[in-house]
């Protein structure tokens, strides 16, 4: 069995995920609208999103599709719509926490993971009693946009080299 330093282990991420859902919302507290694609740039973040134009660490929010399955199980619900979770990008096949403090690509767009995307009190409204606690540890990550481009469902998500 190969071993290495913690830094080497953290830097080893050969897995590649893919985008399975995209959404944005034009106004604060509005429902997310499902999108076929999103236009991103470092100044605005996501074009048309209510956060557009704000620079910072929370330009894009991402969650793992696998964690939505966990939420369904924890809450005893047969289905949870991605629009309820208030995240812009749902990905499958890659551990988002491994991207939390590193650069990664969605298609050709370069992003930088900036931290965990903790649940807010709106999760109780959206998911029902216990929604906030179910989301703890499963809320995904936040990211800032480093290059212009368009992302779409099916795009590959991978650590930048």
Q: State both tokens at 135.
A: 């989301």
In a domain, 140, yes or no: yes
* Domain CATH for 92: 2.40.33.20
- In degrees, rounded to 5, the angle at the alpha carbon of residue 33 between the alpha carbons of residues 31 and 37 is 150
Q: For residue 29, what is the DSSP state?
A: T
In a domain, 30, yes or no: yes
Q: For residues 161 and 156, what is the distance between their CA atoms, to the nearest angstrom?
A: 14
pTM of the model: 0.92
Q: For residues 107 and 39, what is the distance between their CA atoms, to the nearest angstrom?
A: 12
Count Cβ atoms below 10 Å from residue 98 Cβ, excluding itself.
17
**Strand arrangement, sheet containing 37-41:** 45-46, 37-41, 149-152
The pLDDT of residue 1 is above 60: no
In a domain, 77, yes or no: yes
What pLDDT does residue 2 have? 55
Count Cβ atoms below 10 Å from residue 18 Cβ, excluding itself.
17
Backbone phi, psi, residue 30, to 5°: -75, 160
In a domain, 119, yes or no: yes
What pLDDT does residue 53 have? 75
In a domain, 5, yes or no: no
Residue 155's domain comprises 14-159
Q: For residues 82 and 91, what is the distance between their CA atoms, to the nearest angstrom?
A: 11
In a domain, 6, yes or no: no
* Domains held by the chain: number: 1
Q: How does pLDDT run across 45-76, given as a tens digit for each residue?
A: 999 998 887 768 899 999 999 999 999 999 99
Q: How does pLDDT run across 82-113, given as a tens digit for each residue?
A: 999 999 999 999 999 999 999 999 999 999 99
In a domain, 7, yes or no: no
96 in Cβ contact with 152 (< 8 Å): no
- The bridge status of strand 45-46 relative to strand 37-41 is antiparallel
In a domain, 4, yes or no: no
Q: How confident is the prediction for the chain on average, in pLDDT?
A: 93
Backbone phi, psi, residue 125, to 5°: -65, -50
């Amino acid at each position: 069995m190969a071993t290495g330093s913690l830094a080497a282990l953290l830097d080893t991420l050969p897995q590649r995920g893919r985008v399975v859902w995209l959404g944005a919302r034009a106004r604060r507290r509005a429902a997310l609208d499902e999108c076929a694609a999103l236009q991103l740039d470092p100044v605005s973040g996501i074009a048309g999103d209510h956060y557009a134009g704000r620079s910072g660490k929370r330009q894009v929010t991402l969650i793992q599709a696998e964690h939505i399955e966990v939420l369904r199980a924890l809450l005893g619900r047969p289905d949870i719509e991605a629009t309820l979770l208030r995240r812009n990008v749902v990905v499958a096949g890659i551990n988002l926490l491994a991207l939390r403090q590193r650069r990664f690509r969605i298609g050709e767009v370069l992003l930088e993971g900036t931290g965990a995307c903790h649940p807010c009190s709106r999760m109780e409204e959206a998911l029902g009693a216990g929604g906030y606690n179910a989301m703890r540890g499963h809320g995904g990550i936040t990211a800032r946009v480093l290059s212009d481009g368009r992302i779409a469902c099916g795009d590959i998500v991978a650590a930048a080299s």
